[in-house]
Structure 1
Amino acid sequence: MDRVRQVALDAYAHQDLPFEVLVEQLQPERSLSYTPLFQVMFSLENAPSEPFALPGLTFDPLELDTGIAKFDLTLSMEETQQGLKGRFEYNTDLFDARRMTRTIEHWQNLLEVIVAAPEQRISELPLLSEAEQHQLLVEWNDTWAEYPLKQCIHQLFEEQVERSPDAVAVVYKDERLTYQELNSRANQLARYLKKLGVGSEILVGICVERSLEMIIGILGILKAGGAYVPLDPAYPKQRQVFMLRDAQVPVLLTQQSLLDVLSEHKAKFVCLDTDWKANAYGTASPIATESQENLVNQTQSENLAYAIYTSGSTGTPKGVAIQHDSLVNYTETVCLEYELKPSDRILQFASIGFDVAAEEIFPCLVRGATLVLRTDEMLSSIPDFLQQCHCLGVTVLDLPTAFWHQLASQLTATMPLPETLRLVIIGSESALPDRLKIWQQQVGQRVRLVNIYGPTETTIGATLCDLSRSIADETTVPIGRPIRNVQAYILDSYLQLVPVGVPGELYIGGVGVARGYLNQPELTIERFIPNPFEKSEVTKALAACSQKSEVNSQFLLPTSYFLPPTLYKTGDLARYRLDGNIEFLGRIDRQVKIRGFRIELEEIEAVMSQHPGIRETAIVVREDRPGNKCLVAYLVHKPQQTLTITELRSFLKEKLPEYMVPSIFMQLDALPLTPNGKVDRRSLPEPEQTRDELETAYVAPRTPLEQQLAEIWAQVLGIETVGIHDNFFALGGHSLLITQLFAQMRDTFKVNLSLRGLFKEPTVANVAETIEIAQQSKSGGEIPTEDAINLKAEAVLDPTIHPGGVTYNPDVSPSVIFLTGATGFLGSFLLYELLQQTQADIYCLVRAETIDLGKQKILSSLKSYLLWNESFSQRIIPEIGDLSKPLLGLSEALFQQLAGQVDVIYHNGALVNSTYPYSVLKAANVIGTQEVLRLASLVKIKPVHFISTIGVIGDGKSSARIVREQDSLDNFIIPSGGYSQSKWVAEKLVAIARERGIPVSIYRPGSISGHSKTGTCNTSDNIYRTIKGCIQLGSVSNQDIQLDLSPVDYISQAIVHLSRQKESLEKTFHLVNPQPLPLSEMVNYMRSLGYPIERVSNTQWRSQLFKAGNSPDNALYPLLSTFSEEVSDRDRDSESQDSSIQQFDCQNTLTGLAGTSIVCPPVDTKLLSTYFSYLIQTGFLNPPP
């Protein structure tokens, strides 16, 4: 109070200084949205005001609400005869009524407490009511749940081995181990380690590359009773040496190739890749001779499981000690939260030195899932990463948020997530709202997205938020609520609870809190503090939670759990939302996260200060564009000392990991200081986006190719110019920027580049040479065009595909059906109808690594379209194969076996992509069809129902206005577009097979739209992308186009019904909507919903498209290559007159469906309402403004 009084008196001494003069002298940043210098006003009217009076009149004061707030917040207090009277005035752009109501209540609470306890310290005066305290302490921290308190993590693994000994536990490249094999090897290693003295509380180092040995080593250490200390082989030698000495490990597990780097340490080395083998004299390895049986466990749950080193502010890393009970609680929690099951395949992404690796390894191995170890090559680009995940059948990804940012920004219809993927976990830094918005638009709820927050000191994760059901606001993405058996408190600097919505420091309590730091007792005391609420009255209510129910004695928790004795001081700024979710707002201290790694800036400064040429240094984080954080080093060198950036960068790389080496270095004459002599970090200059810090002389591009490359590099790196000999990494490049760089180079030059090549020679000149070689290797440097391909010559069916003397009985009801394309949109509905309308078993060709994964893909597809019924399961039999391979990717024996079992074939599978050329689609769509016909001709003749497309007719360029179902394709022009061309050739093969005696029916659907009742659709289809893209553009072409929207339920019901009629064989069926919708009526409907769309000429629309469409945010971005920016004469003519619109005769279809209820609904307001409701509800379309 004395300090406040003195500040006020000092201010009164200068009260005559005009405000305008003060503003002129201080030159603050000006804005029309707020007043300069201050935005909060408090006024106290303590002088009694005389009532205004006139003879014969009485006056009552009238409060006027002008609707304008002069400041962001004003509190006016007035002393009256009745007591204090107050009024809040606030800016409604910043505060809402609910928040201000709470603020008023807190103000009243404060005043009441001051009167009731005037002797209490101001810092201890509570703002919150008892109800609010109860909410924050009890209701939002009621996380009690059972878990195996007395068990260790390796015991949970051993229990799983008993349940599934023959299941695959871990996979790396072509190597794999079953659960039994992994357990046996870990047991042998554990027994050997015990002979070396390993036991409870003994730290054992493990420094290995990602491999099967990594998993064996970790489990072996734990089974021996020890705690593992992971060292990333990529760490600098000095950092590894420090960690080994600090942890005082007596034994170090490693690999032969790493011995030279680690040779200085005096620990006993065990090489996991060589010490298992017999020596040159044939003597068996001492490890291999150990028993493979489980050891008798002598480890307690309070013993250490691992110690992981994180960045330290003193310049040296600090080891965080985690106990088994903490690890077991987290493992059990995420197993339940993520719904992990034995059929899951979890990618092991993180490096061994990152605690997230434990989240990937242990939950997987205690639930019987398969752990898939990634390779470094997977990170060459996002497309490569997604493709590899698809090939590996990955179902769960645990990614650094920074990597997820890159992945989310590149998701398109042509580069979707793998079909097997069901869960993505992100964490390690704040998620960007704009990336979440892209994710929700592209993925929706098909793949669950979970955001995890937690420092290493709280055992991997402390809070969890399911972002599949959370929509980010404009500024932040929540980190969720505390996980099971963990508590979260947001406190001020006096350890008092802060109100909801008010920032404070986040403290974590509960089972997950680490034991402390290795060999740093003072730092442990500083960061792990006693719980200030342990004896408070309100916390007693928390203990009542233990009386919820009787529990098994195995899961009983100590009473102290409910009153966590220790809280970890995270140093993170956070606040509670009204719904109980927590928002992360940044760091209070100078610890930061970049690309998923937690970094103490002081550690980098301490290491830089060790350089003999540096006098002063400061490290800050800059974000030159959203999501691209980088470290910037400001330095002042000593007098008479010369210092090059190359030398300094090399010095740091010897002592720090790559992610801690600054991207930008700026040399200053002196660091700016605050009045109290501290470095004024806010006054440090913005780094210049130039290449001046390089010692390499600038050499300009010499060729157009080098010029293009230099421009791409400059854009990705965020600098103005790049020379052809400039080093990508010296310019600030890092692993995440490489992903962007490769994506852009691939899109521009249409070649696949080697990641290893870039690391070896990271210059424009080298990459340009590589691209030239790649381009020259394609037909002498010229890429053949699709026009050069003679499609008629392609339509040749293998002469060996001929039924010969094989018989065919058309009266046999099928008991076995073979279906291709069952996981696609139409394929899922065909499978559903076949299951509904027949009693047959359905053999489904599916691409997957295992039968279980194949079955899972099929079921996931049915569930996503709301078609699943548990009774279907036994009748769906996956056949693991590939349309693009000979014999459909099946073995010859299996192919022959199927030929004898199958009664009828539905060939719906195809690679569908409107931007791919014929040459890319040929394997799946043409060769695949040929192999289906081969299957139909062997052992016994099987009818084939081939799903083609109306696009084979040739885009309406023929003079014929009516296309009849029995017309030959030769009557029409060959279609344009790779997909239609591939189906044209496939249909020609089917026609040849028909002539040879194979009974074939052809079905040509038009534009397949969503379900007529539910609206469920394939939003990656061109029609939906076009609708969304036009809404984003705000315009549509005025061409006279008829929209053929044929609901998928009509198409699938019609195909299955027609295929079951004997009269349908040998016929072709058109499946189009007989009542299409003019484009103009679609535009009118969208306008009626509130979407602002104008009709413009085709020329104008294409121009707008190419201006806006180059952004990945536009739905038409993936389809740009199908449009030409130049408008053809025919397109111009179509703007002024009706184009010759072909009509498709559907007589065969109508005849076959006569007497049934299968009718194609008209495209009317009712159908459009169903579709747009679905598109808006799923988030594909934003609601109308």
Structure 2
Amino acid sequence: MQNQTQINSIHQLVELQVSKTPDAVAVVFEDQHLTYRELNERANQLAHYLQTLGVKPEVLVGICVDRSLEMIVGLLGILKAGGAYVPLDPSYPQERLSFIIQDTQLPVLLTQHRLREIVPTHQVQIICIDNWQAIAGQPADDPSREVQPQNLAYVIYTSGSTGQPKGVAIEHRNTIAFINWAEEFFTTEQLAGVLASTSLCFDLSIFEIFVTLSCGGKVIVAQNALHLPNLPAANEVTLINTVPSAIAELFRMKGIPTSVQTVNLAGEPLQSTLVQQLYQLDHIQQVFNLYGPTEDTTYSTVALMEKGTSEIPSIGRPISQTQIYLLDAHLNPVLTGAEGELYISGAGLARGYLNRPELTSEKFISNPFSQQPEQARLYKTGDLAAYMPNGELKVFGRIDHQVKIRGFRVELGEIEALLNKSLGIQQAVVVARDDNMGNKRLVAYIVPKSSTKVALQQVTARILRSLLKQKLPEYMVPSAFVQLDELPLTLNGKIDRRALPVPQWTRMEAGAYVAPHSPVEIQLAEIWNRLLEVEQIGTYDSFYELGGNSLLAIQLVYQTNEAFQIELLLSKFLENPTIAGLAQTIDALRGAEISTNKTNNLTVEVELDPTIYPENTLVEPVLELFLTGATGFLGAFLLAELLEQSRSDVYCLVRASSIEEGKARLHNTLKRYQLWNEDFSARIVPILGDLSQPSLGIEAGQFLRLAEKIDIIYHCGAWVNMIYPYSALAASNVIGTQEVLRLASQTKIKPVHFISTVDVFSTANEAEIRVVGERDATGPFSSLYNGYAQSKYIAEKLVMTAHSRGLPVSIYRPSNIMGHSQTGICQNNGFVARMVKGCIQMGIAPELKAVLNLVPVDFVSQSIYHLSRRQSSFGKAFQVVNPVSLEWEQLVNWINRQGYPLEIVAYETWYSQLLKQRQNRTSENALTPLTALFVNQQFIQQSLGSFYFELEDSLDKLAVNSIVCPPVNDDLLNSYFSYFTKCGFLNPSYSESQMRDLVLQ
């Protein structure tokens, strides 16, 4: 090892390793990696670039990036530039990120393009590290070294007892001392592959990244510890450094690879039973219990756990260059076996708290027991501990109200301070309790200012949780809120935390209860019940409003994958964390034959099954029809059109458990839209099946008989979802289309009329309104702005491939489908309708460059039928749209004239008001469930519309049959608003449960 007197900084230790093993792999993330040379050169280029921006010693640089190779390059680049990094977790609420940025007065912030919208800018200069072209021109050699050991290396913010987080300032010499210990304590073999799964805002990450890189190991980056089993490099991990709750779940899910020999556990009290469970795995050779606060650079003590013992684990002995003192209230040492407060001294001790001199003086005091300069101070930890006769330390608790939740340090006072500022709360106290699985969960006990019913209704768990989520990280938001008439007190008048009642983990007021009904939903409810310990869980209850957290979410995804034999990603569950949303995702993923994790590259190649080729010839005349999607809005009108315009029987694919249930669903759908005619009954034939399943979920023999029976196919069925990604929708929308084409090609040729959407046009990167001609082609997959559009785009490609093989096909692309032109009957949960209602409820509308192309559903169904009857339509795609579009501002002005006062305001102002509506859970605003979507202004513009249309040929063909699209005028809009008023849609009391399913149309 190089003479340590020559090492002034962390990055010099890394550079020393680069010189030894330049071609060894340094960092791995998923299927990407960087060698030590590549990592060093990229970090050098970034460092030179940062230096041109004024970064030098003692200059703080923020870093807010997703877990990636760029994260490691960013950290090392900041240090090489001479700066000190300040980690900002992208999952933190904006208010907390904003506080840290203001408190540090960051001049520069590294982030990624996809995170720019969540990063508060203030006066900070934003650098997108994934825009490497701006950085690539910098030199790749090591920058000049101006960094001294006493210069800052990083500042990590921890929870603060006074209500504000505090930044712990660590110098290079502190971390160098820590790395030197680790290099002596651990072998090269142990550090060969270290799992880097900890947030940069948690100091375990220092070990995972900088110890590993300084000692020649491989940093294997993961989203979190529980993603380990799915990592491509899982079998290269030799050491796991995490918290006990995470390793316990890895053990339960049998997710610890046989390559792992060493486990470091820290951040939470360690149980002996867990240690012995780990030792049951033959490949686990050593389990270490490590202890240390952020103020002492990650670890202060270490203990090797013994195999076969049931004793309470100790935290061992101090690491090198660290001294531990157990003192009484007068700073006198306590006797062996007696409890005392744990104080730390040594080379790892932080500079103090950034911009908090008084708190620094309070927590870092002079050391009366040593005259050596590196031991001049003591850090007051607040932990109670005792020396055992063998010289090892055991920790027994706290002298204050600090706790550890999944390894994160939480000052309960910070949560209590925020609750006590809330309207309607007289007093609040927060405690940590163990659930039935041994996990720590926060419980808030609140006393309302009034015991009246109104006050109790106002102070709800949902409102309080929403308030706290805007200010605190997820791990600091209580899982349960308990209302009390008064808090229990001790004899001397203090709050008696031990007398607080054990919470009943119930639904609280999570929302109107809707019982799970399908077998999948019932099975999911059982899994949720075990994890959340909530007896009654509704189909639409939010996982987080029931007390879920990130660790429980990971456990839930694992158990769901085990139960249903699928590969659900955590990110997909979080997009709609309800039983209903999860059940539909499971339905979509089951039987999917395409990759569900390759669409991040925004390119998908799907080929039509080569066995799908038309057999024999086209049969005339058409006698029997097959329709998918008949229980949807357009599908119902198309079914009625087919029945009215022909004498054919219509076979309808429907999801149901029996023919009787299928008939009832179709009957009720037609009746709902005032389309039912008793004469239809004998001509509607339910076919039980599922678009997302092979052969449409139809038994092989019946599939063949159906292929012989039917003569023409109208494929209207799809999973329409504004939120879900392509991977979740592909089974229904893409594979389902392939199976329809298979049906069309077997035994005899059956023309296919495929209903798509105008959303397949390129829109994602275009802010301006476009004009689309009748013969325009769709743009690239990568430019489409949501997963639904992408799935329909790929499905169109399959349809046209089938056409090239000889199958007659036509494609129809409707725009925004509105209600019937005469009755006004609409689907109230459509995006345009919901947008109108939400704006009316707020009294304001956003200023948008959007063009609404509103097309009545009866015009769409009539157009599809009549165009489908023409031989010349085969091989063509038709835009089924209104020849006259309506600008958003025109619609808002029309609404004003109808007596609904609407003021057009800047988008930011409108969105801010929507956020306030979201906080006020009693507002019932139609848009609050979609608030997260509206962060992106472009999304709402694209959803309302971004095209003018130029149409000639198809309109001429329709005019021959007297099919003319009604203009969007007072008569048409009046019919819609009349229906909205009649059905109660525009009534403030309209049930939110009737509106909750926009994304599940």
Q: 1:420 to 1:653 in 2, by over 3 A?
A: same
Q: Does 1:667 align with 2:483?
A: yes
**Are 1:619 and 1:634, in contact at CA under 8 Å, matched by a contact in 2?**
yes
Give how far 1:343 is off: 7.9
User: 1:678 is matched with which residue?
Assistant: 494
**Are 2:235 and 2:257, in contact at CA under 8 Å, matched by a contact in 1?**
no
Superposed CA RMSD: 2.5
Give how far 1:203 is off: 1.4
1:699 counterpart (514, 522, 538)? 514
User: 1:620 is matched with which residue?
Assistant: 431
Q: Does 1:429 align with 2:268?
A: yes
Give how far 1:357 is off: 1.2
Q: 1:483 to 1:737 in 2, by over 3 A?
A: same
Q: Does 1:388 align with 2:224?
A: no
2:26 counterpart (161, 169, 175)? 169
Q: Does 1:651 align with 2:467?
A: yes
Q: Does 1:473 align with 2:310?
A: yes
**Are 1:387 and 1:418, in contact at CA under 8 Å, matched by a contact in 2?**
no
Deviations 1:104-158 (A, max 9, x none): xxxxxxxxxxxxxxxxxxxxxxxxxxxxxxxxxxxxxxxxx99558521111111
- Residue segments in structure 2 that go unaligned for 5+ positions in a row: 594-1001
Q: Does 1:757 align with 2:614?
A: no
User: 1:1137 is matched with which residue?
Assistant: none
Give how far 1:305 is off: 0.9
CA–CA distance in structure 2, aligned partners of residues 707 and 292 of structure 1: 58
CA–CA distance in structure 1, aligned partners of residues 118 and 554 of structure 2: 29
Give how far 1:645 is off: 1.9
User: 2:504 is matched with which residue?
Assistant: 688
CA–CA distance in structure 1, aligned partners of residues 394 and 345 of structure 2: 18
Q: Does 1:308 align with 2:145?
A: no
User: 1:1162 is matched with which residue?
Assistant: none
Q: 1:252 to 1:719 in 2, by over 3 A?
A: same
**Are 1:390 and 1:418, in contact at CA under 8 Å, matched by a contact in 2?**
no
Q: 1:241 to 1:369 in 2, by over 3 A?
A: same
Deviations 1:999-1057 (A, max 9, x none): xxxxxxxxxxxxxxxxxxxxxxxxxxxxxxxxxxxxxxxxxxxxxxxxxxxxxxxxxxx
User: 1:330 is matched with which residue?
Assistant: 178
**Are 2:510 and 2:542, in contact at CA under 8 Å, matched by a contact in 1?**
no
1:442 counterpart (267, 281, 285)? 281
User: 2:403 is matched with which residue?
Assistant: 592
Q: Does 1:520 align with 2:356?
A: yes
Deviations 1:83-113 (A, max 9, x none): xxxxxxxxxxxxxxxxxxxxxxxxxxxxxxx
1:197 counterpart (54, 71, 85)? 54
Deviations 1:445-496 (A, max 9, x none): 64322221100000011011122x465534x211111001101111222222
CA–CA distance in structure 2, aligned partners of residues 272 and 698 of structure 1: 46
CA–CA distance in structure 1, aligned partners of residues 413 and 121 of structure 2: 27
Greater Cα shift, 330-339 or 696-705: 696-705
Give how far 1:209 is off: 1.3
User: 1:451 is matched with which residue?
Assistant: 289
CA–CA distance in structure 2, aligned partners of residues 271 and 460 of structure 1: 29
Deviations 1:943-966 (A, max 9, x none): xxxxxxxxxxxxxxxxxxxxxxxx
**Are 1:390 and 1:420, in contact at CA under 8 Å, matched by a contact in 2?**
no
User: 1:734 is matched with which residue?
Assistant: 549
User: 2:629 is matched with which residue?
Assistant: none
CA–CA distance in structure 2, aligned partners of residues 368 and 424 of structure 1: 19
- Residue segments in structure 1 that go unaligned for 5+ positions in a row: 1-144, 278-284, 536-558, 779-1185
One-letter amino acid of the counterpart of residue 529, structure 1: I
Give how far 1:772 is off: 4.8
Q: 1:182 to 1:775 in 2, by over 3 A?
A: closer
User: 2:981 is matched with which residue?
Assistant: none
CA–CA distance in structure 2, aligned partners of residues 574 and 211 of structure 1: 39
Q: Does 1:339 align with 2:182?
A: no
CA–CA distance in structure 2, aligned partners of residues 148 and 341 of structure 1: 26
CA–CA distance in structure 1, aligned partners of residues 7 and 16 of structure 2: 14
CA–CA distance in structure 2, aligned partners of residues 482 and 213 of structure 1: 34
Deviations 1:539-592 (A, max 9, x none): xxxxxxxxxxxxxxxxxxxx434xx11111111111122222211212221110
Q: Normalised by the size of structure 1, how large is the TM-score?
A: 0.48
Give how far 1:740 is off: 3.4
Q: Does 1:256 align with 2:69?
A: no
Q: 1:226 to 1:753 in 2, by over 3 A?
A: closer
2:390 counterpart (579, 588, 604)? 579
Q: Does 1:767 align with 2:582?
A: yes
One-letter amino acid of the counterpart of residue 373, structure 2: S
**Are 1:168 and 1:177, in contact at CA under 8 Å, matched by a contact in 2?**
yes
Give how far 1:174 is off: 3.0
Q: Normalised by the size of structure 2, how large is the TM-score?
A: 0.56
**Are 2:262 and 2:287, in contact at CA under 8 Å, matched by a contact in 1?**
yes
Deviations 1:956-1002 (A, max 9, x none): xxxxxxxxxxxxxxxxxxxxxxxxxxxxxxxxxxxxxxxxxxxxxxx
Q: 1:317 to 1:728 in 2, by over 3 A?
A: same
User: 1:1060 is matched with which residue?
Assistant: none
Give how far 1:306 is off: 0.9
CA–CA distance in structure 1, aligned partners of residues 91 and 395 of structure 2: 30
Q: 1:695 to 1:399 in 2, by over 3 A?
A: closer
One-letter amino acid of the counterpart of residue 454, structure 1: G
User: 1:460 is matched with which residue?
Assistant: 298
Q: 1:222 to 1:418 in 2, by over 3 A?
A: same
Task: Describe the SS at the equivalent of 2:110.
Answer: strand
CA–CA distance in structure 2, aligned partners of residues 390 and 419 of structure 1: 12
User: 2:245 is matched with which residue?
Assistant: 402
Q: 1:234 to 1:343 in 2, by over 3 A?
A: closer
One-letter amino acid of the counterpart of residue 229, structure 1: V
CA–CA distance in structure 2, aligned partners of residues 735 and 352 of structure 1: 16
CA–CA distance in structure 2, aligned partners of residues 289 and 363 of structure 1: 30
1:610 counterpart (394, 410, 421)? 421
User: 1:1090 is matched with which residue?
Assistant: none
Q: 1:173 to 1:263 in 2, by over 3 A?
A: same
Matching of residues 977-992 of structure 1 within 5 Å: none
2:41 counterpart (176, 179, 184)? 184
Matching of residues 797-836 of structure 1 within 5 Å: none
Matching of residues 261-280 of structure 1 within 5 Å: 261-274=118-131, 276-277=132-133
Q: 1:419 to 1:392 in 2, by over 3 A?
A: closer
One-letter amino acid of the counterpart of residue 497, structure 2: R
Give how far 1:258 is off: 2.2
CA–CA distance in structure 2, aligned partners of residues 156 and 684 of structure 1: 51
One-letter amino acid of the counterpart of residue 678, structure 1: K
Task: Describe the SS at the equivalent of 2:516.
Answer: coil
Q: 1:251 to 1:484 in 2, by over 3 A?
A: same
Matching of residues 869-948 of structure 1 within 5 Å: none
CA–CA distance in structure 1, aligned partners of residues 591 and 359 of structure 2: 61
One-letter amino acid of the counterpart of residue 257, structure 1: R
CA–CA distance in structure 1, aligned partners of residues 320 and 126 of structure 2: 39
CA–CA distance in structure 1, aligned partners of residues 407 and 232 of structure 2: 20
CA–CA distance in structure 1, aligned partners of residues 412 and 166 of structure 2: 14
**Are 1:409 and 1:438, in contact at CA under 8 Å, matched by a contact in 2?**
no
Pick the structure with greater CA Rg. 1
User: 2:257 is matched with which residue?
Assistant: 418
1:560 counterpart (373, 394, 401)? 373
CA–CA distance in structure 2, aligned partners of residues 447 and 592 of structure 1: 30
**Are 1:408 and 1:436, in contact at CA under 8 Å, matched by a contact in 2?**
no
